[in-house]
Amino acid sequence: MKKISKLLIGTNNKGKYKEIRDLLTKYIKTHSTSEFKLKSPREDGQTFKENSIIKSKYFSKKTKLICLADDSGLEIDILDKSPGIYSARWGGKKGDFKKAINKVYKELSKKDKNWKHKKIKARFICALTIYNSNKEIINLAFESMNGLFDNSQTLFIHVDDEKGIIDAVNFSKNFDIKNIVIIGGYQAHLISKFLVKNNVAVLIQHTHSLPNFEDEDYNSTYINPKKLINAGVLVGIHTGEASNFQTRNLPFYAGQVAAQGIDKEIALQLITSNTAKILRIDKTLGTLEVGKSATLFVSKGDALDMKSNQLTNAYISGRKVSLETHQTELWKRYSKKYKLSN
């Protein structure tokens, strides 16, 4: 994609034009709609995004320039998200901000006379669109987030502390994001009821680590997954920053949870079916069922025990994977030399 050197700012609001222009790099030459004596199009969209597209598309086609336009406004929950896309109209034809705010206060008082003494949830929304009359320009960063709002994607949040988790979940819920997963979640067990209530899953950090704080029990990292499981939270285990070489230890992390009193079948789910559900791939992976991918391993001894686990076979999508490595070759060579047994 070529760099943008000329840009039309799609608004007849002089104040808004200046605000947007000041945010742009000096290497982009900006143009205003007044240079082309253009009136604003009819904004008949049902959302901020739709109105933003209407304006950018209209001005771009009229001028043959790439156009940046926005649509923004205030949403107040107690007023059924009004004024919303009609925010500017609440200020009258002249767009009087004071008049608009007074109307907001008036409507709030109609709804609840004591609103000033209560917490009123509200938000300012701004939808930006860049449009080229020859080819529409898509902001990949924005597009990649669309799935969060239609719930086709999951929001993964890296956070460990209790307050941080609560703030992150509440912030996400304000935008109607329903599929939320906490990654890390060191203090998640302290707010397990909150997580269950909000249907939040946790990919907890690996169990083979020391406590983060001096006043914690020595086994806190071992037992925290158990606390979450007993509370009804959907839990999986992840390898943290050491993902490249610690993946091989995932079964033993689950084994550590089992050692704290969790049934081994449930502990196994932390690295199989639970993680598949969290990643939303459980239709094809996570359990051994007809129609699912035959991705599994076979072990002599206890698969979750570091001492007795010994892999004999591994399969990915039904294809047998060779377990031969430089280490196994050395083991065979020297076990034969020194007559060692398995």
The reply to whether 71 belongs to the active site is yes
Facing residues of 298 across strands? 313
For 72, 168, 271, the CA distances from 40, given in Å and listed in that order, are 15, 39, 56
Catalytic residue among 70, 71, 160, 305: 71
Q: Which amino acid makes up residue 9? A: I
What SS3 state is found at 167?
A: helix
For 67, the token pair is 């156009």
In sequence order, the 6+-apart residues with CB closer than 8 A to the CB of 21 are 9, 30
- Taking every pair of Cα atoms in the chain, the longest distance, rounded to a whole number of angstroms, is 94
In sequence order, the 6+-apart residues with CB closer than 8 A to the CB of 199 are 178, 180
What SS3 state is found at 82?
A: strand
Ordered DSSP codes for 204-247: EPPSSS--SSTTS-TTHHHHHHHHHHHHT--EEE--GGGHHHHG
R_g of the chain, CA atoms, integer Å: 28
- What is the distance of C-alpha 144 from the center of its chain? 11
Q: What are phi and psi of 148, to 5 degrees?
A: -70, -30
Peptide bond before 225: cis, by omega within 30 degrees of 0? no
Q: What are phi and psi of 60, to 5 degrees?
A: -65, -45
Q: Which sequence positions are flagged as catalytic?
A: 71
